[in-house]
Chains A and B, each alone.
Chain A
Amino acid sequence: MKLRQLWLPAGLVTAILVSLGLSGMLWTNPAHSNLSSRTKVTKNTDSSNNTTFQDIYLPAQIVSTSKTGQQEMLTNNRINVASELRDKMSRFTATDVQEISEHNSKKYLAQLRQKDTVLLNYNSAMTVNFFRKAFGNQLKIPNQRFNRVQLPLNDPDHLYLLNDQTLHVVKVKLKNNHAGKLRHVLSDQMVKHPVSFMMLNGKPVLSYANSVKLKAYSYQLTQQTQSYYANRIMTTNSNSSMQIKHHKNSTTYDDHGFRHMSVNKTTDAVTFTNYNSQVKSSSFVNTMNHIYQQLVMVGMPLDGMRFFDYDTGSDTAVFRTYVGGLPVYDDRGYGAIQMKVLDQTSYQMTFSLDSLQVPIPPVQSTATVVSTKTLMTELKNAGVRHDKIEDIQLGYEWTRDKTLEKAVNLSPTWFIKVDGHWRTYQQYLS
């Protein structure tokens, strides 16, 4: 009799609890709020994008220093050294920070030359939050700027963050780092070029004591059509009254609202301006993530495309095609994507319809580039003032093949940055 009296309230209480539990799970389950992602799926499948945030923001350059102090720039014909290293260093957590030196170029250079280390370099300053996202680690230390990460191979409990601009060195105490794994990556057969660090107008740059023999590359030019981009990025407006104007040298697309695109007919350069693109916050990592998402949205091929640098003065991020661990430069903008953040809601993106997707056998397999010393004397003889030179880097020059249609030859050479522009050193000599 008692039981019969009890089952009703007990059943009611369980039913209420179950419904509470279920609704709680529904509210907290991100899948529920993500139901709209089903419509996104179709968009996902037509973009052939295989490049993740982590892939595009890999460090630009890897330098290893041996136990005897010999420094080498590392590339590899078989694997991507930067991504292999990144995958091996994703586990560590940080506990403590210690400042080592500041504003002292001698000490800074000594730190760069530290024996038995591997150095991951970016061309412009990063933040800790960015580094955490790009490498998937748990570095929870005060946010600060740096452009080089140094990992001592004989001391797995520390790493150093270095900033070229302020000559600031920070020592970070690590947990869960496995130097053995890094050594394993580095023990793979690498292409090694002996280098050393030198100061160039207050900035450390890599100097090559001997002339450098580098692989030459050839690619088949992949050309995307204007209408591909027009359909992808200009037809999002619901009233979809896109206006197309054909000019002598260019075609412009306008959606009477927030988006504008113009394509130069002779250079294939596309300029896309978006006035309706809200950035959540202006922190570095957020800006970079926003830029990455916009690149994916526009849908240009991102294979081999990597972050080159970010100029805080003009708020411009540059991405370049990387081949064999070195960037491709071109004055007309081939092989690069430029993204200028105009303000919190708008940006301007410049890229090319042409891209390098399919490598083909090069005419010559290697080419030789002069040593840094020769380069500097030649520049001096040509009348380039030493204090005008902002940066020097090895890279590949983009030239169209004269005989083979739609083929681009990439030949290694020195690139010199003067007044914010990268040019080949041959251009300065003539």
Chain B
Amino acid sequence: MNFKRIQIIFLVIFIAMDVFLFLLFNRSSVGNSDAAGNNNVLEEMRKDQISFSKPTTKSHEGYYFSADNGSVLRQAATSLQEQSLRFSGTELVSEFKKPVKLPSGETKKTLDKIVANPSLIARGSEYSYSSQLSSDSEIIYVQRVAKGPVYSHFGQIRFALNSQKRVIGYSQNYLENVKLLKEASKTISEERALTWLYQYNEIPNGAKVAWSNLAYTRLLTARGQYVFLPTWVFAVKISSSSTFVLKRVNAYTGEVIKTGDGNQTSNANSEIFTIT
């Protein structure tokens, strides 16, 4: 065998080896960081035809706090104008004397003005518009407590729309006596929450995760006070249905907060409600 042939054989062998080593290198650098585990789960989710936008890996801070629906709204309600109102328990239910027209594309702008007006909405400055919770028939403003939005009807204003897209009235709950029960603590990242939710079989195949947000959810009631904690809230849309179901993950422990049958809007004690 001449030298040239030996060189060619060696060249072929080494090129093959290079390709092999390169593949090996590429593969091993995938399983590198801690996030790799979550990435695998995310990949698994994609294989299950679950659609979602890429979750963030950032950790946040949140509080445990207690609050109640007390008499602040009742006191403030006396100075409200251009509406007829009544109380259902601690909830303020009001009907505008003239339905408010919402020009298309200016829903938020129009309602922001109303909410900011203390003669129309009590304590409106503490609420902010939530595009995530709002729907065609209802616009929701959430109260902001302890640096976060409250995704619970105990701290919300819900504007009801009629078929002509006019605001006919609203119902409001206000959280007062807010007390931080513990200093700020770190939450898990959105990615971890999402992967856990999936691993607890809360996201069926083919579902769509429309949005997610870190928001406060009521965990329990003790000594007459509601106790809230930060949760990752995911809006899951099951392929066969047109409604979103809100799934909540305890942002400290990663546990899925179960609040009964997720599809019932009339679940009196439930934080889970559906929006269409």
Q: Is A346 an interface residue (CB 8 A)?
A: no
Contact B11 A15 (CB under 8 A): yes
Contact B7 A50 (CB under 8 A): no
Which residues from chain B contact A18 at a C-beta distance below 8 Å?
A: 14, 18
Q: Is B199 an interface residue (CB 8 A)?
A: yes
Contact B180 A38 (CB under 8 A): no
Distance in angstroms from B224 CB to nearest chain A CB is: 8
Q: Which of chain B's residues 181-228 have a Cβ closer than 8 Å to chain A?
A: 181-186, 188, 192, 195-196, 199, 219-220, 222-225, 227
How many chain A residues have a CB neighbour from B under 8 Å?
A: 48
Instruction: Provide the bound-state CA to CA distance between A18 and B15, in Å.
Output: 9
Q: Is B29 an interface residue (CB 8 A)?
A: yes
Contact B31 A34 (CB under 8 A): yes
Query: Which stretch (A104-112, A151-159, A359-367) binds chain B?
Result: A359-367
Instruction: Provide the bound-state CA to CA distance between A358 and B185, in Å.
Output: 12
Q: Which of chain A's residues 209-251 have a Cβ closer than 8 Å to chain B?
A: 217-218, 220
Distance in angstroms from B114 CB to nearest chain A CB is: 33
Which residues from chain A contact B220 at a C-beta distance below 8 Å?
A: 220, 358, 360
Contact A34 B32 (CB under 8 A): yes
Contact B24 A78 (CB under 8 A): no
Which residues from chain A contact B227 at a C-beta distance below 8 Å?
A: 358-361
Query: Which stretch (A4-12, A289-297, A377-385, A390-398) binds chain B?
Result: A4-12
Distance in angstroms from B75 CB to nearest chain A CB is: 22
CB closest residue in chain A, given B182: A359
Contact A12 B11 (CB under 8 A): yes
Q: Which of chain A's residues 1-59 have a Cβ closer than 8 Å to chain B?
A: 8-9, 11-12, 15-16, 18-19, 22-23, 25-26, 29-32, 34-35, 37-38, 41-42, 44-45, 48, 50
CB closest residue in chain B, given A22: B21
Q: Which of chain A's residues 54-82 have a Cβ closer than 8 Å to chain B?
A: 76-80
Which residues from chain B contact A323 at a C-beta distance below 8 Å?
A: 182
Q: Is A271 an interface residue (CB 8 A)?
A: no
Chain B, residues 124-143, CB within 8 Å of chain A (1/0): the string is 00000000000000000000
Query: Which stretch (B100-108, B115-123, B233-241, B247-255) binds chain A?
Result: B247-255
Contact A45 B195 (CB under 8 A): yes
Query: Which stretch (B34-42, B47-55, B266-274) binds chain A?
Result: B34-42
Instruction: Provide the bound-state CA to CA distance between A76 and B180, in Å.
Output: 11
Contact B31 A42 (CB under 8 A): no
Q: Is B166 an interface residue (CB 8 A)?
A: no
Contact B255 A48 (CB under 8 A): yes
Instruction: Provide the bound-state CA to CA distance between A323 and B64, in Å.
Output: 13
Contact B32 A22 (CB under 8 A): no
Which residues from chain A contact B4 at a C-beta distance below 8 Å?
A: 8
A12-B11, A361-B227, A404-B223 known; A37+B18 contact, CB < 8 A: no
Residue of B179, B181, B229 contacting most chain A CB atoms (<10 Å): B181
Contact B180 A77 (CB under 8 A): yes
Contact A31 B181 (CB under 8 A): no
Contact A45 B196 (CB under 8 A): yes
Q: Which of chain A's residues 184-220 have a Cβ closer than 8 Å to chain B?
A: 217-218, 220
Contact A303 B28 (CB under 8 A): no
CB closest residue in chain A, given B199: A45
Distance in angstroms from A101 CB to nearest chain B CB is: 36
Contact B40 A41 (CB under 8 A): yes
A26-B28, A44-B34, A50-B252 known; A361+B179 contact, CB < 8 A: yes
Contact B183 A31 (CB under 8 A): no
Q: Is B156 an interface residue (CB 8 A)?
A: no
Q: Is A90 an interface residue (CB 8 A)?
A: no
Instruction: Provide the bound-state CA to CA distance between A407 and B56, in Å.
Output: 36
Q: Is B1 an interface residue (CB 8 A)?
A: no
Q: Is A348 an interface residue (CB 8 A)?
A: no
CB closest residue in chain A, given B17: A19
Distance in angstroms from B234 CB to nearest chain A CB is: 17
Instruction: Provide the bound-state CA to CA distance between A42 and B34, in Å.
Output: 11
Instruction: Provide the bound-state CA to CA distance between A23 and B21, in Å.
Output: 7
Chain B, residues 43-80, CB within 8 Å of chain A (1/0): the string is 00000000000000000000110100000000000000
Which residues from chain A contact B21 at a C-beta distance below 8 Å?
A: 19, 22-23, 26
CB closest residue in chain B, given A38: B31
Contact A11 B32 (CB under 8 A): no
Contact B186 A12 (CB under 8 A): no
Contact sample, A vs B, 27 pairs, CB 8 Å cutoff: A15-B17, A16-B14, A19-B14, A19-B17, A19-B18, A25-B25, A26-B21, A31-B28, A31-B29, A32-B28, A38-B36, A41-B34, A48-B252, A48-B254, A50-B188, A76-B183, A77-B180, A79-B184, A80-B183, A218-B222, A323-B182, A358-B220, A359-B182, A360-B225, A360-B227, A361-B224, A404-B222
Chain B residues close to A by CB (< 8 Å): 4, 7-8, 10-11, 14-15, 17-18, 21-22, 24-25, 28-29, 31-32, 34, 36-38, 40-41, 63-64, 66, 179-186, 188, 192, 195-196, 199, 219-220, 222-225, 227, 229, 252-255
Extra inter-chain contacts (7) besides given A32-B28, A358-B64, CB under 8 Å = A16-B14, A35-B28, A45-B199, A48-B255, A78-B180, A360-B220, A361-B223
Chain A residues close to B by CB (< 8 Å): 8-9, 11-12, 15-16, 18-19, 22-23, 25-26, 29-32, 34-35, 37-38, 41-42, 44-45, 48, 50, 76-80, 217-218, 220, 301, 303-304, 323-324, 357-361, 363, 365, 404, 407
